[in-house]
Structure 1
């Protein structure tokens, strides 16, 4: 004889499903609390077999290739036209690639078609490369084929009191995530592209804007902002269900500005891209903010999450709304690039675990020049696995690898990487 548990607090479930419970771990705790009031009814039911560990492993997406032999690298790029053969050959060197918004639309008619063309070209040279399709969860960027359907959805975009929709940087529209029809349109657009064998998953951007309580609150009002946050949580759960368990979901989600660094939202994703790492906000000092970011990245990496740490060679002052977006500066010479590489690379190496990847860059566009293809000598140096985790004393960190010793001082903003030659006796 088995027992079926019927909750007497059924009315609590719709409240939970609205997304007012705003992270998955809290949501599970809420359901457990509701389950305290139960009615046990004895019924005869068939015994369900327990899932085996093999079944659990089978539903996890296949992670990108990873090796400690060299610095593990990530690529994040867009080009309005078709990538050249030389560029495709360069891209095929990376185990994890995101093709950004506006990719390939000028030659292929849409971002979807341009992304698929680039992905298929890379896969021809490197079938093991994991390729992510970019979608922003709140900012509406154009040139997608599905934009025509968006025009037919009433109330798809957020509006201010004057009815204006160009609320993001005064030039781009923002999705009203509280609109279920809008959410379905967004999910369906992702599902179609990720169904292609050349696409291994989604890169979901705009999470910080969606979750930051102050972002667009003045323009749309507190009530609508809260509704869009609720809609965001529904959207993430629905997206995972729609694309299936075998596709990756990587979010731009870890950021020291959150109470728990974004770890409170990481259950939605297989990993996180990191940017804006050095732009302290909320009155927190630079070393405090970066130390929290390091701790957050370390904890996520040790959980087995994919980490895609990106930063500019040098970062101009962040002037974006609420300090959310990252700005980039150009760096002309390879010598200057090598010098600027040391500090962000040291931070990455202090945090890296298996399936952590690094990218330093001048921006995401391949339209202007070929400096995005810059390959520095450090990328070919033997690294080897870490001897152990990093040690920390105040704001100073150190860590050893088989072929490198890393020193980092985030208060002084200095770092050194001593590359250890192999003993060839």
Structure 2
């Protein structure tokens, strides 16, 4: 794990590792396990950026945050008839989870402080917030359109305030490409397509840290399997753009599975922005590595330079 420049520890670190883990066995407190794991990684590589994960919609019961939230029913999201809203998701099988009503300042503050306190204490370097825009909530949950809109708007204001409090620390908002005032985003299912390139460029052009995540079902078991996706990433990447490939739940897999020899190839900074001729993008890097991506076939080619080409270069490589 310490090979990666940025590491996020998710909600199933430790004894809550099963996708359908029995509800009666959920164990507090996930915050401590996340911090402990990041400390272990940083003992090996103190330069990594360690990120704390939580969800702005789902109240996961293995978090200490849940213990505080569950004490006050008025903080829970209710439907238009006043019934407590419970939803399934996040890998907790058929469990019905409570939902944060972040339209209330007390709830927004509770949510923000869960990660802010860890950053201020030096335990983690930043926060990853899941579902800020893709909430999974709909009228089928007994919510009116206005209630859904209010919920979404409260996510924006909550994260903007959290980012203000975090200052320059990364706040990675999943899917929230156009959310103003947030310095980092994740493309959760990065596609090998022009759409993926343009989304990455749009975010990078606005100075956002971007995590581009290729899901393993598309072929990240080999360097050949990731080539089209990695080529699309390199075409669109800017400063603080990161690429990775893996499944959502990897407890049964070795971390070696996540690391590809392509990540060790010479790259260096790009010599300029990608150039598109008809349907083909091309981009060169200081090492001599060249990349192209054909939008008509969604196929990419990476011609890696020899390792010694990077000798004596001072530029920082795109991650």
TMscore range, shorter length: 0.7 to 0.9
Structure 1-normalised TM-score?
A: 0.62
> Which structure has the larger Rg?
1
**Correspondence for 1:250:** 172
Superposed, 1:11-410 pairs within 5 Å as: 91-104=1-14, 109-160=28-79, 163=83, 165-169=85-89, 171-210=96-135, 215-219=137-141, 220-242=143-165, 244-254=166-176, 262-263=177-178, 265=179, 267-278=180-191, 290-315=193-218, 334=221, 337-361=222-246, 363-370=247-254, 373-401=257-285, 402-410=287-295
1:240/1:375 Cα in 2 relative to 1: closer, same or farther (>3 Å)? closer
Cα deviation per residue 1:173-226 (whole Å; 9 max; x = unaligned)? Answer: 33222222221221222222222213111111112224xxx8423421112112
Distance of 1:146 and 1:374 partners within structure 2: 30
Q: What RMSD in Å do the two structures reach over aligned CA positions?
A: 2.7
Cα deviation per residue 1:303-322 (whole Å; 9 max; x = unaligned)? Answer: 3321211112434xxxxxxx
**129-138 or 245-254, which deviates more:** 245-254
1:418/1:152 Cα in 2 relative to 1: closer, same or farther (>3 Å)? same
Cα deviation per residue 1:329-381 (whole Å; 9 max; x = unaligned)? Answer: x76xx5xx2221101100110011222111011x1334212155443222222
> Which runs of no fewer than 5 residues in structure 2 stay unpaired?
18-26, 310-319
**Conservation of the 8 A alpha-carbon contact between 1:102 and 1:142:** no
Distance of 1:136 and 1:351 partners within structure 2: 28
1:153/1:411 Cα in 2 relative to 1: closer, same or farther (>3 Å)? farther
Distance of 1:141 and 1:357 partners within structure 2: 27
Task: Tell me: higher relative CO, structure 1 or 2? Use CA pairs within 8 A at least 6 residues apart.
Answer: 1
Structure 2-normalised TM-score?
A: 0.81
Distance of 2:9 and 2:290 partners within structure 1: 33
> Which runs of no fewer than 5 residues in structure 1 stay unpaired?
1-90, 255-261, 279-286, 316-329
Distance of 2:292 and 2:209 partners within structure 1: 24
**Conservation of the 8 A alpha-carbon contact between 2:61 and 2:67:** no
**Conservation of the 8 A alpha-carbon contact between 1:313 and 1:340:** no
Cα deviation per residue 1:113-135 (whole Å; 9 max; x = unaligned)? Answer: 10110111122222221111112
1:375/1:277 Cα in 2 relative to 1: closer, same or farther (>3 Å)? closer
Distance of 1:396 and 1:173 partners within structure 2: 47
